[in-house]
Amino acid sequence: MTDANATLIKMEGVKKVFLTDEVETHALSEIHLEIKKGQYISIAGPSGCGKSTLLSILGLLDSPSDGSYTLNGQSVAKLSISERTRIRNREIGFIFQAFNLIGDLTVYENVELPLTYRGTSAAERKQKVQHALERVGMAHRLRHYPSQLSGGQQQRVAVARALVGDPLILMADEPTGNLDSKNGEAVMELLRDLHRNGATVCMVTHDQRYANFAERTIHLFDGRIVEETQEARVGA
Amino acid sequence: MHTIWQDVRYGARMLWKHRLATLVCTLALALGIGANTAMFSLAEAFLLHSVPFEHPDRIVAMVNVRPQQNIERNSVAPATYLDWQAQAKSFEQVSAYAWEEVNLTGNREPEKIQGFDVTANFFELLGVQPKMGRTFLPEEEQPGKEQEIILSYGLWERRYASDPNILNKLVKVDGKSFTVVGVMGKGFDFPMPAEAWMPLALTVKQRSERNSRYIWVLGKLKPDTSVKQAAAEMSGLAQREAASYPDTSKGWQLRVLPVREFASSDLTRQYTLLLMGAVGFVLLIACADVANVQFARVSGRQKELAVRAAMGASRWRIVCQLLTESILLALLGSAAGLLFAQWDITLILAHMPADVAKMVAGWKTISLDTNAFLFTLAIALFSGILAGIAPALMTSRSNVSETLKESGRGSSAGRARHRLRNALVVAEISLSLVLLVGAGLLVKNFTALIDVNEKYHPESILTMNLSLPELQYQAQPGRVSFHEQVLRRLSILPNVQSAAMVTHVPYADGGGVGTRAFSVEGRPATDRG
């Protein structure tokens, strides 16, 4: 059980180097980062600065080439692949730019997906999925397929999927990138609402407007943290 | 359980979504699985059910062989059989039989049937009981007291209209009256193609014969004796006989065969195994086909699989999901394959001439039985896993992070998949070539057989098998006169161009002219070739 304001994520000297055809690309260099429980963090920067790479490492989708990363007091470096998968399933909720809903699954089945990988009972799954969809206002579209929803609705379902397992932290990678401004605003309001209700949110964005929704913004440039804004203003 | 059901539901949905690919894969697997199931049914019949009695594992046949003349199995002399019966310690029982083609006459149309003279303990050794009546008594093995006959079910049904009162009735066998003492159960025709059994009554002179080999010997092993041990003992006995009777034993050796092997010929076994290998290749080709299709389908689902991994699906979980789809495909293929197999078997059974079929051990037991269904299920699972494992493992290994990004980098996993697909194509071509070459050789052999027949125009030649009852035609002048009359009367028939008599019809009984010399009556014998 994590105490309020306890450190959830701590990175020290994290580096990420990609090796492609003998060419080294230093995507991240000397990243020092700390995220406490209940915080709303945005990671901003121009395209190619390493935001998504950093989020992938934070979300255990990728591993750092160097440095240390501690998640909820546990060093990630010592985790096996199956342990990383288990933590991703139970403690991290992902929201992607392209929504990444599975087209052949209904809304219900998409939101249910993380729960099916942890052996939750059918009754509990039903209750959690229903609750998650109600939180994002999509409970009336249970049996629809993603192709039958608008972009904004799909992203809401994706947020419900991220929430359904009561994760420690929500990780959003450009959640408004594929949405128009109206839908983008709606999703950002949703995230802020979730934060107000206690969720820890880490969001990647290249849009300064949406970065300001967070209470703290980390600015990346060429794989390094160049600036950190501690208190965010409320978005216009 | 829920996980499996979920994967099955999703797999079915995906197969339905890609109906064309599913149909192609189902057909490919149906052909492969169907051919294997049909061949399994044949192999089961020929190799496992070649004899129509239970527990054949304890029964062996003891035959003479003559390697220098390529004689792989030959009957033995009566004296040899009696020596073995008296001296062999490895067997609970030893029995014997001899071929005896007889004429049934009387108040019905004369009919030549294949009978066998058997010892009194023959049926007991095999563990079979008659459907009606009894088997032979030991005293009925005495010459002059062997006027009993046991009918096969088929003969009783066909010639005597399944007469329920057939027991103790008299039937004319080669002009002599025999009493029907029993009727065997349906399907029992051992040795093939037995239609009737009579007692084996050896005269004093016959009992001492060592040069005339016409007795086939069976033995039932003692419970604690293996075939190998029995063979070792019999080999010792054979050596002692060779030493005692060098003139009659020269060049002859003994071989002990499990009765299943004895009943089906070496050629049958070899061809059956060869064909099983061939259809196995067909299945491998089908699996490679399906694997390629699966690769194509699964490659288009990289993002979905990456999302699942991001949501917490382990690699093993994703592999299981993909394998479930493959197995579902294989089960669809197996259902269609069973239809193919049934059609194959019906075709094979319908086109085999009855005269040939009755000589093939196990022919009557060919069918799609429970074992065939279980075999089909097993190879469906095997095919599903084989066709799906490579695509599943390759695809589940891809970089989740890169795949989830909008513009993913090119990955080495893509090159590995390409190499594997190329390898599958090479494997398919290689297997297909091997099959084509094998099929070509078989066609060539078959064409050669047909060419031989063409030189003789068999469609214009009618053959008849004639054997005269000893009782009525004891003296040679009588037999010669009969044959001359038959030849004369046949020759003047309106549609007969010419008629002839021969002791052995060319190519009859599965043999060829090459193994026998021939001569024309009244002319000197010619050299072979």
Check residue B365 and give its pLDDT: 85
Q: Which tokens belong to A170?
A: 């929500």
Check residue A3 and give its pLDDT: 59
B309 touches chain A (CB under 8 A): yes
Q: Which tokens belong to B131?
A: 């459907």
Check residue B449 and give its pLDDT: 65
Residue with tokens 């028939």: B493
- For residue A99, the chain B residues in CB contact (below 8 A) are none
Chain B residues 367-386 with a CB less than 8 Å from chain A:
none
A145 touches chain B (CB under 8 A): no
B434 contacts B340 by C-beta, under 8 angstroms: no
Nearest CA in chain A to B400: A61
B9 touches chain A (CB under 8 A): no
Q: Which residues contact B495 (CB under 8 A, 6 or more apart)?
A: none
Check residue A212 and give its pLDDT: 86
B14 touches chain A (CB under 8 A): yes
Q: φ, ψ for residue A14 (rounded to 5)? A: -70, 135
Q: Who among B6, B401, B409 is closest to A116 (CB)?
A: B6
Complex ipTM value: 0.90
Check residue B409 and give its pLDDT: 43
Q: Do B307 and A97 touch (CB under 8 A)?
A: no
A12 touches chain B (CB under 8 A): no
CA nearest to B159, candidates B148, B145, B173, B176: B173
Q: Which residues contact A177 (CB under 8 A, 6 or more apart)?
A: A97, A98, B406
Q: Do B311 and A122 touch (CB under 8 A)?
A: no
Q: Do A94 and B310 touch (CB under 8 A)?
A: yes
Q: Who among A20, A96, A114 is closest to B312 (CB)?
A: A114
Interface test with A, best of B8, B10, B311 (most A CBs within 10 A): B311
A56 touches chain B (CB under 8 A): yes
Interface test with B, best of A117, A124, A170 (most B CBs within 10 A): A117
Taking only the tens of pLDDT, chain B with its 529 residues reads 778 888 999 999 999 998 998 999 999 999 999 999 999 999 999 888 888 888 899 999 999 988 888 888 899 999 999 999 999 999 999 999 999 999 998 778 888 999 999 999 999 999 999 999 999 999 999 998 889 999 999 999 999 999 999 999 999 998 889 999 999 999 899 998 899 999 999 999 999 999 899 999 999 999 999 999 999 999 999 989 888 998 888 888 899 999 988 988 777 888 888 888 888 988 988 888 888 888 888 888 888 999 999 999 988 899 999 999 999 999 999 999 999 999 999 999 998 888 778 778 888 888 899 999 999 999 999 999 988 888 888 777 767 877 777 544 444 456 676 777 778 788 888 888 888 888 788 778 777 766 665 566 677 888 887 777 777 787 888 888 888 899 899 989 998 888 888 877 766 655 444 445 566 767 776 655 5
A18 touches chain B (CB under 8 A): yes
Helix (H) or strand (E) holding A229: strand A224-229
Find how far residue B442's CA is from the centre of its chain: 18
Check residue B518 and give its pLDDT: 61
- For residue A98, the chain B residues in CB contact (below 8 A) are 406
A88 touches chain B (CB under 8 A): yes
CA distance, residue A89 to nearest chain B CA (Å) = 4
CA nearest to B28, candidates B205, B293, B251: B293
CA distance, residue B7 to nearest chain A CA (Å) = 11
Q: Do B307 and A102 touch (CB under 8 A)?
A: yes
Nearest CA in chain A to B411: A20
CA nearest to B265, candidates B38, B526, B63, B486: B63
Classify residue B215 by its DSSP letter: B
Q: Which tokens belong to B459?
A: 């469609």
Taking only the tens of pLDDT, chain A with its 236 residues reads 445 678 999 999 999 998 877 788 888 999 999 999 999 999 998 888 888 899 999 999 999 999 999 998 889 988 888 899 999 999 999 999 889 999 999 999 999 999 999 888 999 999 999 999 999 999 999 999 999 999 999 999 999 999 999 999 999 999 998 898 888 999 999 999 999 988 899 999 888 888 888 989 999 999 999 988 876 444 43
DSSP-assigned letters across all residues of B308-350: HHHHT--HHHHHHHHHHHHHHHHHHHHHHHHHHHHHHHHHHHH
Question: Which tens digit of pLDDT belongs to each residue from A191-202?
Answer: 999 999 888 999
Q: Which tokens belong to A171?
A: 């990780």
DSSP-assigned letters across all residues of B76-124: B-HHHHHHHHHH--SEEEEEEEEEEEEEEESSS--EEEEEEEE-TTHHH
B101 contacts B107 by C-beta, under 8 angstroms: no
CB-based burial, B16-34: b 16+ in 10 Å, e otherwise:
eeeeebbeebbbbbbbbbb
Q: Do B312 and A85 touch (CB under 8 A)?
A: yes
Nearest CA in chain A to B318: A117
Angstrom distance (rounded) from CA B145 to CA A202: 105
The model scores a pTM over 0.80? no
Check residue B456 and give its pLDDT: 62
CA distance, residue B337 to nearest chain A CA (Å) = 29
Angstrom distance (rounded) from CA B115 to CA B68: 32
- For residue B304, the chain A residues in CB contact (below 8 A) are 102-104
Angstrom distance (rounded) from CA A186 to CA A205: 15
Q: Who among A56, A101, A117 is closest to B401 (CB)?
A: A56
Nearest CA in chain A to B304: A102
A36 touches chain B (CB under 8 A): no
